[in-house]
Structure 1
Amino acid sequence: MRQNTRAPRGLDPEKIVTSALAVADAEGLDAVTIRRLAQEHQVTPMALYRHFTDKDDLLNALADRLLADVVLPEPDERPWHEQMRSVLAAFLDALRPHPSVARLTLPRILTSTPGLALAERCLALLREGGFDVPQAAEVGRQSICALVALVTAEPRVDPQPDQESPEEAISARRATISGLPARRYPNVVAAADTLAYCTDPAHYYRVGLDLAVAAMRGISPTAVV
Structure 2
Amino acid sequence: MTLPVPPWEQRAPKRRPAKLPLSREAILAAAFRILDAEGLDAVTMRRIADELDTGPASLYAHVANKDELYALLLDQAAGEMRLSEPSAEHWQDRAKEFIRELERVLVSHKDLGRAALARIPTGPNSLAASEALLALLRAGGVPDQDCAWAADILSLYAVAHAYENGLHLLQAGGEEAGIAYVAAIGQYFRQLPTDRFPNIVELAGLLTTGDGDVRFEFGLDLLIRGLASRAADAKRDHG
Q: TM-score with structure 2 length normalisation?
A: 0.70
Gaps of 5+ in 2: 1-17
Could you tell me which residue of structure 1 aligns to residue 189 of structure 2?
177
Q: What secondary structure, in the 3-state scheme, does the structure 2 residue paired with 1:9 have? A: coil
The alpha-carbon distance between structure 1 residues 52 and 175, as it changes in their structure 2 partners (threshold 3 A), is: same
**Superposed displacement of residue 184, structure 1:** 3.4
Equivalence for 2:11: none
How many aligned residue pairs are there? 212
Alignment CA distance shift 1:36-1:77 (3 Å): same
Q: 2:193 is matched by which residue type in structure 1?
A: P
CA distance in 1: counterparts of 2:228 and 2:81, whole angstroms: 23
Partner of 2:80: 69
Distance 1:95 1:212 in 2: 20
Compute the displacement of 1:92 (Å): 2.0
CA displacement, residues 144-201 of structure 1 (integer Å, 9 cap, x when unaligned)? 22222232345849469xxxx66765565444434322453344345556756x8633
CA distance in 1, matches of 2:202, 2:23: 53
Mean alpha-carbon deviation: is it higher for 127-136 or for 63-72? 127-136
Q: Which residue of 1 aligns with 2:93?
A: 82
**2:53 is equivalent to residue 33 of structure 1:** no
**Map of 2:235 onto structure 1:** 222
Report the Cα offset of residue 209 of structure 1.
2.0
Matched position secondary structure for 1:100 = coil
Deviation digits for residues 57-90 of structure 1, max 9, x if unmatched?
2111111122111111244573322222222222
1:103-122 aligned at under 5 Å gives the runs 103-105=114-116, 107-109=119-121, 111-122=122-133
Change (3 A) 1:15 1:126: same
Are 2:70 and 2:115, in contact at CA under 8 Å, matched by a contact in 1? Answer: yes
Q: What is the aligned counterpart of 2:27 among 10, 16, 23?
A: 16
**How far apart, in 2, do the equivalents of 1:80 and 1:215 lie?**
13
Larger radius of gyration: 2
Q: CA deviation at 1:142?
A: 1.9
Change beyond 3 A, Cα 1:45–1:101: same
Is 1:93 matched with 2:133? Answer: no
Instruction: Assess, with a 3 A threshold, how the Cα gap between structure 1 residues 76 and 137 changes in structure 2: closer, same or farther.
Output: closer
Could you tell me which amino acid in structure 2 is paired with residue 215 of structure 1? G
Whole-angstrom distance in 2 between the partners of 1:80 and 1:167: 35
- Corresponding position of 1:146: 157
Q: Which residue number in structure 2 is paired with residue 208 of structure 1?
A: 219
Pick closer, same or farther for the CA change 1:80–1:170 going to 2, 3 Å.
Answer: closer
Answer yes or no: is 1:188 the counterpart of 2:179.
Answer: no
**DSSP 3-state at the match of 1:46:** helix
- Pair 1:180–1:223, CA change in 2 (3 A): farther
Query: Are 1:66 and 1:105, in contact at CA under 8 Å, matched by a contact in 2?
Result: no
Query: Which amino acid in the other structure matches residue 67 of structure 1?
Result: A
Q: Which residue of 2 aligns with 1:51?
A: 62
Q: State the AA in 1 paired with 2:235.
A: T
Separation (CA, whole Å) in 2 of partners of 1:41 and 1:194: 50
Give the aligned CA root-mean-square deviation in angstroms: 3.4
Cα distance between partner residues in 2 of 1:22 and 1:212: 34
Code of the residue aligned with 1:143 in structure 2: it is L
What amino acid does structure 2 have at the position aligned with 1:87?
A: F
